[in-house]
A and B are shown apart, each in its own frame.
Chain A
Amino acid sequence: MKLTMASSPHNHSHKSLTRLMLSVIAACIPGLIAQVFFFGTGVLIQLVLALVAVSVFEAAIMLMRKRPVWPALSDGSAWLTGVLLALSIPPLAPWWIIVIGCLFSIVIVKQLYGGLGFNLFNPAMAAYVLLLVSFPVQMTAWLPVTDLINTPISFTDQLRLIFTDFTASGFSLDQVRAGIDGLTMATPLDTVKTDIVHGLTVTESMQKPLFNEWAGLGWVWVNLGFLVGGLYLLKAKIINWHIPVSFIASLAVCSAIGYIASPGTEPGTLFHLLSGATMMGAFFIATDPVSAATTNKGRLIYGALIGLLVYLIRTFGGFPDAIAFSVLLINIAVPLIDYYTQPRTYGHGAVK
């Protein structure tokens, strides 16, 4: 009888890479729903665009690298990158924005570094930063929540805006973005920052229709959606608690200190936690295993540093949001963090 030989262990947890990636994508759904609800179906169009683009680029680069296409594509990591990128850019940004983003993230950031597992930087965030720096206008053209838009934009108009830059009736994105009062509206983070520069207090700025009492309209829900998804990830043990908790705690502490020090010019903890991409960053971006710290102690440091940087950039920096920059900057520090936070191995030191 011929027996099959194998190396131990002979059993496996049935966890798989594909399942892991698809679970993360699934965990994005609450946040996605909130975005679609508040910012229109353009998000979905971007999502489809992104999924197609990453699939094409991933397949193409695998062919060029003479590697099997399907195993790479089916692990779902490219799709996750696409999804995260689609959720990060303004919903009605022109089609080529997302395509360039996908190209950069998959081809340059991931595959040129050796493929999955070898990239130093978070692909979605690196692409986001590239786009933000290269196309600041398109990348900051966030619509206000649909409630505040003059004339609601139909799905076809959104399609037209994305692919042709104009609606059927000839409005450009800027015109569409104009609010009820006819003024172009930015994101809450932007608005507060600009207002403070203009001498307004946070309270005064928050009086604007863009806000409810303590944060931006819609954005609160988007963040809460990602929080829910993140909690699912924690529950399913797909991510460890260390990074999101330390990130959120660090941001909360920093913003609280700021608020106490200068209540007039500081929007406070809740605003920071529920504005922009905070929750998405905490649970979906910073926890990207490839580019994050790998030791538990290191993860705490990693998350805390990102939180600190987010606060600093949001408060003192020139860009509206800071998740992408912070994550990329701390990605650089990961090897160092990992090296100095090796856990104490059994039987080494501290043995009583």
Chain B
Amino acid sequence: MDKLLEQIKKGTVWAFPGGIHPPQQKSLSNSASITRLPLPDKLIVALKQHIGANGKLLVEKGQHVLKGQPLTAPAANWSVPVHAPSSGVVTDIAPMPSAHPSALPELSVIIEPDGKDEWVALNKNKNPAELSHDELINIIHQAGISGMGGAGFPTYVKADTKQPIEFLIVNAVECEPYITADDVLMREHAKEVIQGIEIMQQLLNPTLCIVGIEDNKPEAIAAMKQAAEHNSKIIIQTVPTIYPSGGEKQLIKLLTNREVPSIGIPADIGILVHNTGTLFAVQQAVYEGKPLIERIVTVTGNTIHNPGNVWALLGTEIKHLLDCQGFSPVPQQSVVMGGPMMGFTLPTVRIGIVKTTNCILAPDHKELAEPGPEKACIRCSACADACPASLLPQQLQWFAKSKEYDKLQEHNLFDCIECGACAYVCPSEIPLVQYYRVAKVEIKEQQAEKIKADRAKERFDARKERLEREQEERKNRHKRKPAAKSDDEKQKVADALARVKNKSDNGGEKSAVAAAIARAKAKKQQGEELEPDNSEVAKERALRKEQARQYKEQKSQTEVSTDTAPVDDKKAAVAAAIARAKAKKAAQAVSEEPQNDAPVDDKKAAVAAAIARAKAKKAAQASEEPQSDTPVDDKKAAVAAAIARAKAKKAAQALEDTEQTVSEEPQSDAPVDDKKAAVAAAIARAKAKKAAKALEEAEQTVSEKPQSAAPVDDKKAAVAAAIARAKAKKAAKALAQAEQTQELQIDSAAPKSADNNTDDSSNSAEADKPKSADDKKKAAVAAAIARAKAKKLQKEGNNQS
């Protein structure tokens, strides 16, 4: 380490392999001092001029902005703002061709300068040494400074490096032919550049700062040496003129004999590299408070009358630069942004310059070699001799042509810095760099594809596994469920029903409620068939909302229906008796269903359904037969019978639907352990009790009403009887459904509501957990839901009746 420092201080410069000596062409533009361009008619300021994220737009169309006013505010990481380069009006904010090889449109703020060039208030700092680290970083950040040498990396990120920095390297090499922007900057503003370096020293506290300048800039070297005299920690190192010594990695090798690891950054080896122009911008931001709104651009080439360096506002159209320096285009003119080795040709000159634009080159056809046709590679390896990264460009080229991507990576394609030295020396004029660029993009695409495919496969495997697991669970459940619903429990349910039946009722209102519940259940389950994913929670909420209104309506309507049930004495008594009988029968028949249905594997469900259907038919028949026997007059009897039949059918239908629902729902149902089953049974019992009570109430209402409402004519009595019958039936059905639904809800409601957002509602593990955690709560919720539904549907039922 000490030895290295000593060597560096002695002026030792190491060498990197390869390199070329293209014609310098620098004298074209480095003799004149920097001029300032007249204000352009418009400024196209791209929001993104660096590596990283766009800032957040702060201005709008039509707004007047002052020079230096921020147009964007940093938003995400690696986001630096852009500023208005001159005072004026924002005429538009639109995507404009960008300063990129592709010229892809980039959102830009278009400003029409008002000619006043009026600054915002600037916050100058006389003595930056007093500023804290964070204050300095913030100033650099808010000034919108990003690397001005090439890539445009946000400077504040680099300056805020947490790794210890041993060497701060200032890249003043400017190895690209033609470009002299840094050269003239150092000649004219060496003091400011050194001040910028000192700010960086303050921020990073490196052991040594090495300024690398190519030996073809003697004036710049002298100026810098003089400006840095007072600071012993700054060394101005002269490096030989060889392209690409200004490449970051190459310069590090030249100045410190270290190599940046292939997958790494200079900070990994304790080195940080800043461009001269960037440091000048830092100085301007800290000392003068000026954000980065202008930079030096070399405008050069044989088609330019006055080649030289200009201070150009960011966003100035290239056309303005060319016009101001005098431009006589030749046929098939090309305009290069950057130097002849790594610059890119522009599709149009209507592009605003950006923070990284260091040169506009407009060559004629003599100064730069015309590209000839690509010839066969003779493996002369001149490219390998020129490669500064010690790659084998010739081999890479063969692999790129044959699309052998693995071989390309094996030969370290991604260590290629695209300096163009290989293509420059190739006697066969093979556009090697272009091959590598394409190959790199293709490899990256392929890798992205692979990642995507891997993810898809993962997802597929997970899904397959889940489906298998579910199937397994279903099988297990079919085995377990009958056991869960033990005879003992069934007995309990039956007992409960029996108890309920024996209970006396309290009033007609409840029977109506029960009937409504029944209808609602039937309907709901029909609906559920179509939309099995309906959220229980949502329903619950909706139902609760309607509760108040429903309750009102239901009340009034029940009264109406009660009032409109006038039956003639005799007939009514008979009809009532019949109705009672039927209702009981139906109730019995249906109330047995849940017990049979409870163990619901497919087969059993089918059997149960068949039984239920048969029973329902029987019930329907039963309702018909007694009627024909009763001594009512023909017409009325026929009407009543028809109504009864229809009702019976409806009931049967509803029952079937219920069965179907019952037989289908278990698929999404989670297996329940004994405890849960017990809880469910208890709840079911409760429901059953309630329903049974309601049924009995209904029956009683039917049987009582005729007695109380004495003077009614025949016809009305028959109708009323039929209605009563129907209601009784419905109530009975409702009881059955209530039981079934109750069980199902207990089983399925929990997982459904818990995993409503996932498509994995029947994951038993997930379902079991919440259940065992709070069975009671859920049961209560389910009960509440059931109640709500009952109320709602009671209303409907009343409407019907």
Contacts and interface: CB of A to CB of B under 8 A. Distances in A.
Given A290-B379, A347-B249, A348-B415, A11 B395 contact: no
Pick from A1, A7, A11 the residue with the most CB of B within 10 Å: A11
A345 B371 CA distance: 29
A14 B380 contact: no
A111 to B, nearest CB: 12
Q: Which 9 A-B pairs have the closest CB atoms?
A: A9-B420, A12-B369, A347-B262, A117-B376, A289-B380, A4-B334, A346-B389, A15-B427, A345-B412
Given A10-B368, A11-B424, A17-B378, A4 B345 contact: yes
Pick from A14, A15, A295 the residue with the most CB of B within 10 Å: A15
B150 interface: no
Interface string A308-352: 000000000000000000000000000000100011111110011
A30 B659 CA distance: 108
Interface of A: 1, 3-17, 19-20, 71, 75, 77, 115-118, 240, 289-290, 292, 294-296, 338, 342-348, 351-352
B348 A290 contact: no
Given A17-B428, A346-B415, A9 B433 contact: yes
B335 A3 contact: yes
A272 B308 CA distance: 62
A347 B269 CA distance: 11
A346 B388 contact: yes
14 contacts: A1-B329, A4-B332, A7-B437, A9-B420, A10-B334, A10-B340, A10-B343, A11-B341, A17-B427, A117-B379, A118-B376, A346-B389, A347-B260, A352-B258
A3 B345 CA distance: 8
Contact of A19 (B17, B341, B427): B427
Pick from B259, B338, B389 the residue with the most CB of A within 10 Å: B259
Pick from B16, B379, B425, B426 the residue with the most CB of A within 10 Å: B379
A4 B424 contact: no
Given A117-B378, A289-B378, A3 B433 contact: no
B498 interface: no
Pick from B16, B344, B411, B437 the residue with the most CB of A within 10 Å: B344
Given A117-B376, A294-B394, A346-B415, A11 B369 contact: yes
A69 to B, nearest CB: 14
A92 B379 CA distance: 35
A103 to B, nearest CB: 21
A112 to B, nearest CB: 15
B218 interface: no
A16 B374 CA distance: 11
B391 interface: yes
B371 A12 contact: yes
A348 B377 CA distance: 27
Interface in B255-313: 257-262, 264, 269
Contacts of A7: 431, 433-434, 437
B80 to A, nearest CB: 26
Given A3-B334, A10-B363, A347-B264, A342 B342 contact: no
Contact of B342 (A8, A115, A289): A8
A234 to B, nearest CB: 13
Nearest to B431: A7
Given A3-B334, A8-B343, A11-B341, A346 B390 contact: yes
A156 to B, nearest CB: 40
Given A9-B433, A10-B343, A71 B375 contact: yes
Nearest to B335: A3
A296 B380 CA distance: 11
Interface of B: 16-17, 20, 22-23, 177, 249, 253, 257-262, 264, 269, 329, 332-336, 338, 340-349, 361, 363, 368-369, 371-373, 375-382, 384-385, 388-392, 394-395, 411-412, 415, 418, 420-421, 423-429, 431, 433-434, 437
A8 B384 contact: no
Contact of B341 (A8, A15, A294): A8
Pick from A4, A9, A10 the residue with the most CB of B within 10 Å: A9
Nearest to A287: B380
Given A17-B375, A240-B385, A347-B415, A11 B177 contact: yes
B368 A295 contact: no
Nearest to B435: A7
Nearest to B268: A351
Given A1-B349, A3-B349, A346-B249, A351 B259 contact: yes
B392 to A, nearest CB: 6
Given A3-B348, A347-B259, A20 B342 contact: no
A160 B698 CA distance: 136
Contacts of A75: 375-376
A289 B411 contact: no
Nearest to A114: B376
Contacts of B368: 10-12
Contacts of A296: 384-385
Contacts of A342: 392, 411
A5 B429 contact: no
Contacts of A292: 379
Given A16-B427, A294-B379, A348-B412, A11 B390 contact: no
Contact of B425 (A3, A4, A13, A71): A13
Nearest to B338: A8
A294 B347 contact: no
B261 A347 contact: yes
A12 B427 CA distance: 9
Given A7-B433, A10-B343, A352-B258, A294 B378 contact: no
B377 A117 contact: yes
Given A290-B379, A352-B258, A14 B369 contact: yes
Contacts of B380: 20, 289
Contact of B258 (A13, A240, A290, A351): A351
A57 to B, nearest CB: 17
A117 B260 CA distance: 35
Given A3-B335, A9-B340, A346 B384 contact: no
Given A12-B371, A15-B425, A16-B427, A343 B342 contact: no
Given A12-B371, A346-B253, A351-B261, A3 B415 contact: no
B386 to A, nearest CB: 9
A116 to B, nearest CB: 4
Contacts of B411: 342
Given A3-B347, A4-B345, A295-B384, A11 B22 contact: yes
B528 to A, nearest CB: 64
A298 to B, nearest CB: 9
Given A11-B22, A13-B20, A20-B427, A116 B376 contact: yes
Nearest to B334: A4
Contacts of A6: 334, 345, 371
A116 B260 contact: no
Contacts of B259: 346-347, 351-352
Contacts of B420: 8-9
A115 B376 contact: yes
Contacts of A13: 20, 22, 369, 424-425
Nearest to B327: A1
Given A11-B340, A346-B16, 18 more contacts: A3-B333, A3-B334, A3-B335, A7-B437, A8-B338, A8-B420, A9-B342, A13-B425, A17-B427, A118-B376, A240-B381, A289-B380, A294-B395, A295-B381, A295-B384, A295-B392, A343-B390, A348-B415
Contacts of A14: 369
B166 to A, nearest CB: 13
B369 A289 contact: no
A10 B392 contact: no
Pick from B258, B421, B429 the residue with the most CB of A within 10 Å: B429
Contacts of A338: 395
A152 B361 CA distance: 67
A3 B346 contact: yes
A294 B381 contact: yes
